[in-house]
Structure formats: structure tokens, C-alpha cells
Amino acid sequence: MNSITAYTEEIDDLNGAAEALFSQVEGFRLQKNSLAILFAEEDTDYPRLYALLSKKWKFPIIGCTATGMLLGREGFCGIGVSVMILTADDCTFSAGMTEQLDMDNYQSEIERVYRELSAAHETEIKLILSYGAMVTGDNYPSGDDLVDTLTAAAGGNVPVYGGAASDGFSFDNFQVYCNDRALHRGQAVALISGKVSPRFACINSVENKASFVYKVTKSRTNLVYRLGERTFVDALKKAGMEVEKSDVVRDYILSPFMVSIHWKDGDSVEVARNLSMLNHETGAGLFLGLIPEGSILSVGVLNRGDVQRSVSEAFDRIFKDLMESGNEYHTLLCNSCCSRFLALVGNASAEAETYHGRVPPGVSLMGYYAFGEYCPVRGDKTGKDYNMFHNFSFTVLAL
């Protein structure tokens, strides 16, 4: 598989934007099958842009809105449109998107799309790329619900990589793209089969913890009702934390809640979770991701040094893995949490500076800042990979 990236700052003159993207990939040889991944700032008229791009690019496009983009050549880009084209003679790509999702239909819709897309493949699916929405209310599935449903639809052993669409921190203007469609509550999915061997790195960027530590005594998926003997809201109040509002995602975006996820075979991993909303009638807290009942919940402390360290660690890990594999890799996709972006305290290029100059010649890189990341993680006991939803992480996919 080969790839190329293109970028333009232009989003007002879409004809000019399309021509700029076309010119940057001119001369690049498209092979038998191709797929494009596209990230754009929230004000982009994506359906109009797709109508222009599809005149020349006769292959599927998926992606989403993005707070900011990361590119191998340009580094950090806070505006515009970025595109990566994947192409191969020995891989098959298919792409599609659900209808608008809610708690009642998300499982059947994701299963339907996976079933329809997999029919285009004659060999085993090797990778699922997917982009979706974040939780902004209790009628939308959590990031874990979406990843787990994709994993189950694929039979439980296909890696899922991607993330939640982001915006300019309004937490309401994000969109998900697939071909000519742009939806606020959709799930875009692309399947890849053939000669491809994906490698992953996922690094948690939270090293330090505050004194807030409780056992979760009552929860349901991403809803936490009780911590110890108190309601979730009362436990926050006792600790002097923000409880006056219902929509608190902005208040807690730099205060990650830490929890360990355990699997039946003995593996475990510590993950960070964003708190999104408080229900003052029930005393519950709604998180973007799963909080298991019986687990220990603590509050982490996010800082700029940990953010930069995790980027270096992720690329150290993926480059070491690639050298040991003996395979030829041309493509790096990466996702970083939007909370990390805020923790950089005005130095928006800090993450890009960490990997700049380290990407090998001939390898293209593209990423974005997400409202939640999808990436497999390796269990601490068995070495098995588990598809998971993450917050406050930096992830890398190598192809």
C-alpha cells in the first residue's frame, strides 16, 4: 500500500481548494484500489467540496471535522482541509455510513453497514477505519458502545482505528463524512482487506493523580450514579469540584478521570475518561466512555510535559515495531485528544515539533485532534490486542 497527503488552507473558494488538492497529488500513481481520508475545519461545506473532488477522484472518501490537523510536512494546521489517499493493487477498500444514530438504533445500523461493506471483500478484513460522534446527552451511545459494536460485527478479531469528530470546542458543530454525505450523528466506516499488516501505538498522556479516589458502587456503561456511599454529584461537591451546571464538558476537559478496565482473561489497562454532563435529579455523571461498576475512579492531572512525552513515546514505539517487523510501511495515521491540545497552553505546534524530522523518507503522515480516539491496546498479561475507546491519548496507526 502506498499513500500521499495534500493540504489547503482554503475553505471559502472550494473550486480553488479542490484544485490545490489535485495539484499536490498530480503525478502520484493511483493503483487499482484507493480510499481517501479527509479532515476539515467545521465551517467547510463538505458536500460541495466532495462534489468537486469526486469529478477526478473516483474512490470513496471518509472523514470528519477537526479542531486541528497534524501533517508530516506542514506540522500543525488549525484551519483548512487535509487529505490522505491510500492506494494499492493488492488491497480492497469499501466505505459507507450509518443513518443518524441514537441509543435505539446504533447497534442495528452499525451491523447493517458492516454487513453491506464486507460483501465487497473476497478475503479477510484486516482493518476497520471509522469516525463518529461524541456523547452530548444520554440518548447517544458512548465511544465504547460504538467501538464494541464494530468489533462484534467483525467477529471480534479485526482492529478498529479512528476517532470522534471534533470542532472548535462548541461541542455541537462536529460532522462525520462519507462520500457525498455529512451527518452530525453518523458513523463512517471503511473496511480494508488484502496485503496489509496494521501496527498500532496508543499512549496515555496522564501520569499524575490528585487525591480524589473512589470506588464506583453503581454505574451503567458510561453513566456513574454512585461513588462509595455518595451520589456522583455529591462526591464531586465534597471535593470542591464544579457541580452547578449540567453541561460540564468544558469544565472538566483538563481534569481526566482515570479508571482501569479488566477483561476476563486477566488483562487490564488504565484509561482516561472525559466527564460530559451531570444529572442533578439522579446525581449521576455522564462520561464519554465506559466506567465499569466496582472499579476505582480517580482524577488525573494533565500537563504539557506529559503530552509531549507521550508523543515521543508513541513514535519511539511504532518506529521500533516497524523496524522489527521487516515489512515495508509507507503510511502513518495519528490521533491526539483535544484535551491534550488545550494542555499545550498556546503552543499548538508542540506535538508536531516532537515528531518533525523523525518520519522516515517516503512515509506520509496525517492526523487530527479528536473528541475521543479509537485504537487497539495490548493487554498487560496475554499481549492480546483489544479495541478500545480512549480520551487523553495519542495514537498511531502504521500501514
- Residue 356: pLDDT band by 50, 70, 90 thresholds? confident
> In sequence order, what DSSP letters do the residues of 213-241 get, joined into one string?
EEEEEEEETTEEEEETTEEHHHHHHHTT-
- Give the Cα separation of 33 and 123 in Å (integer): 15
Of 319, 371, 354, the closest CA to residue 65 belongs to 371
Residue 345 has pLDDT above 70, yes or no: no
Entry field: residues in the chain: 399
CA–CA gap between residue 299 and residue 257 (Å, rounded): 4
Average pLDDT on 170-198 reads 97
Give the whole-number percent of the chain exceeding pLDDT 70. 97
Share of the chain above pLDDT 90, in %: 70
Q: Residue 339 pLDDT more than 90?
A: no
SS3 content of the chain, % helix, strand, coil (to 5): 20, 40, 40
pLDDT score at 61 = 98
- Which residues face 63 on adjacent strands? 38, 177
pLDDT computed for residue 215 by the predictor: 94
Which pLDDT value is given to residue 288?
A: 94
Distances (CA, A) of 399 to 138, 322, 325: 36, 10, 12
If you average pLDDT over residues 137-165, what whole number do you get? Answer: 95
Question: What pLDDT does residue 208 have?
Answer: 65
pLDDT in tens, 33-92: 999 999 999 999 999 999 999 999 999 999 999 999 999 888 899 999 999 999 999 999
Average of per-residue pLDDT across 281-310: 86
Half-sphere exposure of 384 (CA within 13 A, CB side): 15
Residue 333: which pLDDT band, with cuts at 50, 70 and 90? very high
Q: In the predicted model, what is the mean pLDDT of the chain?
A: 91
Question: By C-alpha distance, which of 182, 247, 233, 195 is closest to 33?
Answer: 195
pLDDT at residue 119 in the model = 97
